């Protein structure tokens, strides 16, 4: 009896630690990885994957999903609002506290202040929009960086196989075993993080630092997916043909294998965006991420924590609702993309 029979357990473990850690890996990711690994893995012809004009087909299939399309629209609207916050809102997110401003304190939601104002008279909608900017930036940044890291590890493991694969996968496994939020907390709280004292990088209180540490714990799922794809794809004939024609390893990877794994990568990158946004908010809530006076959806909520049960509870509700909505929409878009890119989905 080989470990073949342990496959489901391994598969689950390989794809993430499940829904338990609030900061991150969700079981949506797990199920997605598991099903993706199965369904994506047996497409035979290279031409089935989106390449060039196939993207239009994908787009059409995506638009057929009403929920996903609606979510995309919501995201675009919110993203634009956040990007142009200074245009959308007449207020500043961190105004000087003039008597004027202070007079407006503790206003419940109204036409002038759709999200209300806080104890110091600051308009909440503005603060939420500026936080959203950070969240989206971090989300996209983490997704991008995770993809880069994950693809490198996964491609090398999947293409070269054997010893390289074994070593790289052990390495990946180790990262999957650590408790994510705990590690993030520990590293994020370090005001001057560095690589063995030599290479210093920004702390988590800055957007760039946050992106770095979140990506450092977010590349594993993509690595596994890419590795799986490569392992199956490299046995295909067109790879043999390329090799026979004298193409070198990296060339084969870049021109033949990678383009065919774009589908699952895109899906996971999307899900990663949502996870990163949640993670950042969680860290900021705990005081280990973006610090006041810089605003983050997380620290807005922690700042307002004492208003629970009072009239000012709206200070908690709106930032949280925005956070929830963004992540929900991102997940729906990711789900829609998965259906659009997988030719074998039946509904």
Nearest to 320 by CA among 57, 97, 132: 132
Contact indicator for 307, 316 with CB cutoff of 8 Å: yes
Sign, CA dihedral 174-200-203-272, equals negative
Q: Residue 304 Cβ, how far from another protein at the closest point, in Å?
A: 9
Q: Does 27 interact with another protein (rule: CB under 8 A)?
A: yes
Q: Does 252 interact with another protein (rule: CB under 8 A)?
A: no
Sign, CA dihedral 85-208-178-182, equals negative
Residues 6+ apart with CB under 8 A from 91: 122, 123, 125, 126
Residues 166-205 that bind another protein (CB under 8 A): 170, 173-174, 177-183, 185-187, 189-196
Q: Max alpha carbon distance in the chain (Å)?
A: 77
Q: Which residue's CB is nearer to another protein, number 55 or number 324?
A: 324
* Token pair for 100: 């004027």
Contact indicator for 275, 335 with CB cutoff of 8 Å: no
- Virtual torsion, Cα 26, 30, 35, 36, nearest 10 deg: 80
Q: Which residue's CB is nearer to another protein, number 21 or number 89?
A: 21
Among 138, 155, 214, 301, binds another protein (CB under 8 A): 301
Q: Does 163 interact with another protein (rule: CB under 8 A)?
A: no
Q: Does 212 interact with another protein (rule: CB under 8 A)?
A: no
Strands 199-200 and 194-195, by their bridges, are antiparallel
Q: Residue 315 Cβ, how far from another protein at the closest point, in Å?
A: 11
Q: Which residue's CB is nearer to another protein, number 150 or number 320?
A: 320
Q: Does 156 interact with another protein (rule: CB under 8 A)?
A: no
Q: Which residue's CB is nearer to another protein, number 123 or number 335?
A: 335
Report d(CA 285, CA 275) in Å as an integer: 15
Q: Residue 10 Cβ, how far from another protein at the closest point, in Å?
A: 9
Q: Does 295 interact with another protein (rule: CB under 8 A)?
A: no
Residues 7-26 that bind another protein (CB under 8 A): 8-9, 12-13, 17-23, 26
Q: Which residue's CB is nearer to another protein, number 20 or number 73?
A: 20
Task: Lay out the site mask for another protein across 260-289 (x = CB under 8 A, - = otherwise).
Answer: --------------x---x--xx--xxxx-
DSSP character string of 117-129: B-TT--BHHHHHH
Instruction: Report the 3 state secondary structure along 249-276.
Output: HHHHHHHHHHHHHHHHHHHHHHHHHHHH
314 φ, ψ (degrees, to nearest 5): -60, -20
Residues 307-336 that bind another protein (CB under 8 A): 308-309, 313, 316-317, 319-320, 323-324, 327-328, 330-332, 335
Q: Which residue's CB is nearer to another protein, number 32 or number 252?
A: 32
What number of residues does the chain have? 347
Q: Does 247 interact with another protein (rule: CB under 8 A)?
A: no
Q: Does 41 interact with another protein (rule: CB under 8 A)?
A: no
Q: Radius of gyration over alpha carbons of the chain, in Å?
A: 22
Q: Which residue's CB is nearer to another protein, number 21 or number 205?
A: 21
Q: Which residue's CB is nearer to another protein, number 46 or number 287?
A: 287
Report d(CA 263, CA 158) in Å as an integer: 17
Q: Residue 115 Cβ, how far from another protein at the closest point, in Å?
A: 15
Q: Which residue's CB is nearer to another protein, number 85 or number 326?
A: 326
Contact indicator for 243, 253 with CB cutoff of 8 Å: no
Q: Residue 153 Cβ, how far from another protein at the closest point, in Å?
A: 16
Q: Does 103 interact with another protein (rule: CB under 8 A)?
A: no
* Count of residues near another protein by CB under 8 A: 71
Q: Does 346 interact with another protein (rule: CB under 8 A)?
A: yes
């Amino acid at each position: 009896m080989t470990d073949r029979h342990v496959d489901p357990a391994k598969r689950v473990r390989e794809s993430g630690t499940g829904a338990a850690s609030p900061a991150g890996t969700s079981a949506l990711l797990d199920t997605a990885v598991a099903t993706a690994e199965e369904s994506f893995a047996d497409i035979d012809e290279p031409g089935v994957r989106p390449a060039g004009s196939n993207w239009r087909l994908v787009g059409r299939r995506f638009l057929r999903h009403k929920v996903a399309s609606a979510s995309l629209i919501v995201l675009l609207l919110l993203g634009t609002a956040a990007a142009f916050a200074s245009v959308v809102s007449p207020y500043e997110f961190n105004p000087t506290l003039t008597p004027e401003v202070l007079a407006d304190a503790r206003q419940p939601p109204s036409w002038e202040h759709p999200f209300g104002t806080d104890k110091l008279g600051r308009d909440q909608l503005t603060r939420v929009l500026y936080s959203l900017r950070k969240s989206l930036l971090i989300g996209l940044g983490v997704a991008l960086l995770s993809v880069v890291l994950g693809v490198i590890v996964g491609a090398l493991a999947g293409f070269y196989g054997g010893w390289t694969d074994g070593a790289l996968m052990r390495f990946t496994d180790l990262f999957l075993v650590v408790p994510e939020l705990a590690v993030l907390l520990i590293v994020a709280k370090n005001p001057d993080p560095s690589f063995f004292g030599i290479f210093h990088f920004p702390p988590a209180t800055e957007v760039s630092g946050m992106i770095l540490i979140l990506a450092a714990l977010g590349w594993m799922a993509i690595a596994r997916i890419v590795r799986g794809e490569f392992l199956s794809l490299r046995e295909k004939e067109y790879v043999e043909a390329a090799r026979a024609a004298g193409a070198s390893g990296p060339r084969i990877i870049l021109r033949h294998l990678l383009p065919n794994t774009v589908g699952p990568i895109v899906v996971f990158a999307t899900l990663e965006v949502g996870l990163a946004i949640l993670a950042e908010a969680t860290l900021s809530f705990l005081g280990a991420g973006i610090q006041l006076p810089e605003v983050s959806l997380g620290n807005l909520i922690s700042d307002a924590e004492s208003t629970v049960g009072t009239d000012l509870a709206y200070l908690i509700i709106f930032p949280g609702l925005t956070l929830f909505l963004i992540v929900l929409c991102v997940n729906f878009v990711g789900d829609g993309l998965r259906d659009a890119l997988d030719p074998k989905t039946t509904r």
